[in-house]
Structures are given as structure tokens and as C-alpha cells.
Chains A and B, each alone.
Chain A
Amino acid sequence: MKETEVINRVLQGDTEAFRLLVDRYQKPIIGFVNHMINDSHICEDIAQDVFFTAYKSLASFEADRSSFPTWLFTIAKNKSINVLKKKRPLSASQLPEKTDLHNPSDNLSERELFAELDKILETLPAEQKAAFVLAEFEELPYAEIAQIEGTKVGTIKSRISRAKEKIKSALENLDGDLL
């Protein structure tokens, strides 16, 4: 069934039809929120709130302005940023550049290396992280990401490129230590 048909059914009072949309987008939304806030304990609660907010404001969704997933990701991004604002920011000493990531005497397993990369992802500024996650993990086109972020495609490209640069430079440092 087409998404617009499902949305129309929900708007006409068939609440249960909304299940199709939740089922279809639960994984990308939970994944995105999890990468944004990096807290698996609360990410499902936030994702649930994203879908509930979408349900309540479904009448304001304009299919000719954006696709349903784009709209959903926009809600998810806003909610994640609100959560991040409430969380304590990482201190300078916790940033990966300052921590002892590259110690020649330590050999990293692949799992440990991925954990280090996850840490670096966590320290990226929220907007950079959102653009990077949407492009690299969710594989959304730049134009769609720009719509979600409410900015120009050029800005998105530069955010993603800066994020990639940081991650790849960390990878360069860490890779030498890989077992």
C-alpha cells in the first residue's frame, strides 16, 4: 500500500493503519536516534515519542513538500538535539584528540577499534553527526539531508566531509595498532 494511502486512512480515523508506518520506519528511526544520543537505554523511548508526535501532527504533513521519512527524520533530529542539549557536554579531556587513543604499545582488536570510532562519532557536533549518520548509515541523498537539516546542500556536504575527515584521521592513527 502506498504511503499517502496509509496516511489518508489514518487521517480518516483508522488509527491501526499507522502500525504500517511504524513497522516500516522503526529501524531507521531507532538507529538514527541511537547514533545521535548514544544511549541505548532511552533511544527507544525517544523513537516512540517521535512516532507519537508524528501521529499527532500527521494532519500538518505536506506530501508535496517532503517525503514521509524525511519528515519523520526531521522530528527525530529535533528530538535528539533537545536530548543532547540536556545532556552534559563532553569535557575537553574526554575528547578523543586529547585521550590516549594512539599508544603504540596497545594493540586494538577490530571490536575495540570500532568502539573508538563510535566514541569519535559521539564527540562530533550534533549537526555534523546528524548529517554524517543520515548520509553514511541511513544512506539518504544529500538533498534529503539538507531538507531535514533545513539548510543548503553545500553546507551538508561540508559537514559530512568534516565529519569523515575526523573519523578517517582517527582511523589512520588507530589502524596502526590493529592486531
Chain B
Amino acid sequence: MKKQELYDAWKEKNRQVTTSESFVDNVMEQTHQYEQKKRETSFNMRWLVELISAHPTAQAALVAVGAMAGFIRVVFIILVILSKGDING
């Protein structure tokens, strides 16, 4: 057999690809699961937004949590400034 023929036969052998029958189904299952998860997450977020907008108590709780977080942050910044002053002084 000539070298070129051997080379071509080797190429031809490597062009043959066998795939498992379930390959496409496996990919599709993964994509469907991903879509399902995405839908669930977006449903949860929508549920939370609807809950907050429908209940004044939930709105008040959200504002209170926000105010508390802001207050803690301000206190933390003041503490940091004061501790730096102690180190320098």
C-alpha cells in the first residue's frame, strides 16, 4: 500500500465517529432540567415581589430591615474611623 493511501485510510478511520444512542437525549434532559430550575427561581422571585406588594406589614418589615442594615453600616464605618484614629494617635 502506498504511503498516501495509508495516510488517507488512517484519516478515513478517524472520520468514523460512533455515538451512544442516548447522547442527544442526555443533552436535552440537561437543558430541560436547566429550564425547570430557571422557571422555579423566577417563580420564587415573583412570589416574593407579589407578597411584599400585597401586604403593608411585609413592606414595613422590608423598610425596617433596610433601615437596620443602613444603621449597622454607619456604626461600622464610625468604629473603623475611630480605630484608625487610635492607631495614628
Tell me, yes or no, whether B34 is within 8 Å of chain A by CB: yes
Instruction: Decide if B6 touches A52 in the complex (CB within 8 Å).
Output: no
- Chain A residues lying within 8 Å of B27, measured Cβ to Cβ, are 18, 22, 48, 51-52, 55
Binding site of A, secondary structure by majority: helix, strand, loop or mixed?
A: helix
Is A31 a contact of B30 with CB atoms below 8 Å?
no
User: Quick one: given A30-B19, A48-B27, are A113 and B35 in contact (CB under 8 Å)?
Assistant: no
Within 8 Å of chain A (Cβ to Cβ): is B14?
yes
Complex contact B34–A171 (CB within 8 A): no
Q: Do B1 and A30 touch (CB < 8 A)?
A: no
Binding site secondary structure of chain B: helix
In the bound assembly, the distance between CA atoms of A114 and B6 in angstroms comes to 9
Q: Are B11 and A19 in contact (CB under 8 A)?
A: no
Question: In the complex, how many angstroms separate the beta carbon of B79 from the nearest chain A beta carbon?
Answer: 43
Chain B residues within CB distance 8 Å of chain A? 1, 3, 6-7, 9-11, 13-15, 17, 19-20, 23-24, 26-28, 30-32, 34-35
Task: Provide 15 A-B residue pairs closer than 8 Å at the C-beta atoms, listed in order of the A residue.
Answer: A16-B28, A22-B24, A23-B24, A35-B14, A52-B31, A55-B27, A56-B34, A110-B6, A113-B6, A137-B14, A137-B15, A167-B7, A171-B3, A171-B7, A178-B1
